[in-house]
């Protein structure tokens, strides 16, 4: 994974304010942690759902317990100086309580003040808990977001070929805009994107299971997809052959029918030997139209992954908060890590393909006219192969 921009950590002193008064707590309804925690959600939108763990956190209890065990040691150490983290009824927050509070911030996108009021806590305490959780994920969960090893890659290529018969495909790439409040970056137009919105761009490469394999964030919305790609570590690795360098001979092909490993991307990207984009000319032949159809269907996995990311982690929608440009990339990274953890644990609560794949409402399709000559040849080989009688679309 390419390094995240803005990853420098800065210490902030918690604000001094009196915590809000919490309503009297009803007795626990069950013997474990959830039985004591769920009544604290009685206020607001969870008043009718607080008895159901999965409806609140959008994940299974198995995944939640894994997160607690994964970061427990670091989390306890990092929060030793915050022993004053208490609910409104003066009960000290345990590890599970703090993980739950951080997850609520990420899943609901509610403001720090709103969540603090719910638990009778100062909003600065909610901010500190959330950031300690994100820091622990950055240290302990990085193994859940990595480029696949050769054995994994063989499985990925087989799954992609099963989708639309595109051989040697290793991933799908796309970008999405994370909206930011206009006051978040004063006196700077660099964050103003082509649709006159303040945003930060996330570039993601995903596998057929919608698992994030490489992400780049931190770049302002004024940059186009092609520019962000070329400034990424992923691009440099692919250009020098450190990634996507495997070759395969197309079955039944003649001499010279070798294709390099590649990912698929839309028309906003340059056509490169390791990045296949669709044909853009008018009046496409039936073979090229068929290739574009398969290509678009294969790209659906990254569109679905980005749509799910924003839908599951509402904090990324940005309506209720004013992000710091140095902290937002770390929030994005944490949400991608959490998504991958749910996939790796086969969490039954996670959704499959979303009802809508439009993760960038209101943004026009970008177009790149850059094409590498050897990439043109490779795309034509793939087009001929998938259009042959032996290659059929899945039923």
Rounded Cα distance, 372 and 253, in Å: 22
Q: Where are the beta strands (DSSP E) in the chain?
A: 169-179, 199-206, 212-220, 247-249, 258-260, 262-264, 275-276
Closest by CA position to 100, among listed 141, 42, 59:
59
Which pLDDT score, from 0 to 100, does residue 55 have? 85
Rounded Cα distance, 158 and 221, in Å: 35
Which pLDDT score, from 0 to 100, does residue 211 have? 97
Return the exposure string of 88-107: e unless at least 16 CB atoms fall within 10 Å of the residue's CB, then b. beeeebbbbbbbbbbbbbbb
Rounded Cα distance, 178 and 27, in Å: 41
Q: Which residues of the chain have pLDDT under 50?
A: 3, 6-30, 44, 81-82, 186, 320
Domain ranges of the chain: 33-140, 144-386
Provide the total of helices (H) and of strands (E) in the chain, helices listed first.
12, 7
The alpha-carbon radius of gyration of the chain (Å, integer) is: 23
Which pLDDT score, from 0 to 100, does residue 29 have? 38
> What is residue 382's three-state secondary structure?
helix
Please name the residues in contact with 321: beta carbons below 8 A apart, sequence gap of 6 or more: 109, 111, 112, 181, 315
Retrieve residue 20's tokens.
Answer: 């809000």
Which pLDDT score, from 0 to 100, does residue 176 have? 95
Rounded Cα distance, 193 and 224, in Å: 9
Neighbours of 296 (CB within 10 A): 14
CA distances to 216, 319, 333 from 7, in Å: 12, 23, 10
């Amino acid at each position: 994974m390419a390094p995240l921009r803005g990853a420098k950590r800065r210490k902030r002193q918690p604000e001094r304010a009196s915590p809000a008064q919490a309503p009297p707590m009803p007795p626990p309804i069950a013997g474990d942690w959830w039985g004591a925690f769920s009544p604290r959600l009685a206020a607001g939108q969870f008043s009718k759902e607080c008895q159901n763990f999965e409806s609140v956190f959008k994940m299974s209890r198995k995944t939640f317990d894994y997160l607690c065990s994964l970061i427990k040691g670091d989390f306890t150490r990092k929060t030793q100086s915050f022993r004053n983290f208490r609910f409104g009824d003066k009960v000290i927050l345990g590890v599970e309580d703090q993980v739950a509070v951080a997850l609520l911030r990420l899943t609901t996108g509610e403001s720090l003040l709103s969540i603090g009021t719910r638990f009778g806590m100062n909003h600065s305490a909610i901010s500190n808990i959330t950031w300690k959780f994100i820091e622990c994920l950055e240290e302990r969960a990085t193994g859940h977001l990595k480029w696949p090893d050769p054995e994994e890659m063989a499985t990925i290529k087989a799954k992609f070929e099963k989708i639309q018969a595109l051989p040697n495909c290793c991933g799908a790439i796309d970008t999405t805009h994370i909206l930011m409040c206009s006051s978040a970056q004063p006196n700077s137009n660099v964050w103003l994107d082509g649709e006159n919105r303040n945003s930060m761009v996330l570039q993601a490469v995903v596998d057929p299971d919608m698992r994030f394999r490489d992400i780049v964030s931190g770049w302002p919305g004024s940059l186009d997809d092609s520019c962000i790609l070329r400034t990424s570590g992923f691009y440099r690795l692919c250009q020098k052959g450190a990634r996507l360098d495997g070759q395969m001979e197309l079955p039944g092909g003649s001499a010279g029918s070798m294709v390099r490993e590649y990912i698929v991307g839309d028309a906003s990207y340059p056509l490169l030997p390791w990045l296949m984009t669709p044909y853009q000319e008018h009046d496409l032949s039936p073979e090229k139209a068929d290739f574009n159809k398969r290509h678009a269907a294969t790209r659906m996995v990254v569109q679905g992954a980005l749509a799910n990311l924003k839908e599951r982690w509402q904090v990324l929608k940005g309506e209720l908060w004013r992000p710091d440009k140095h902290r937002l990339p770390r929030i994005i990274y944490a949400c991608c890590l959490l998504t991958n953890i749910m996939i790796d644990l086969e969490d039954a609560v996670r959704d499959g393909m979303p009802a809508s794949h439009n993760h960038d409402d209101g943004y026009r399709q970008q177009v790149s006219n850059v094409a590498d000559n050897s990439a043109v040849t490779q795309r034509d080989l793939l087009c001929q192969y998938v259009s042959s009688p032996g290659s059929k679309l899945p039923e």
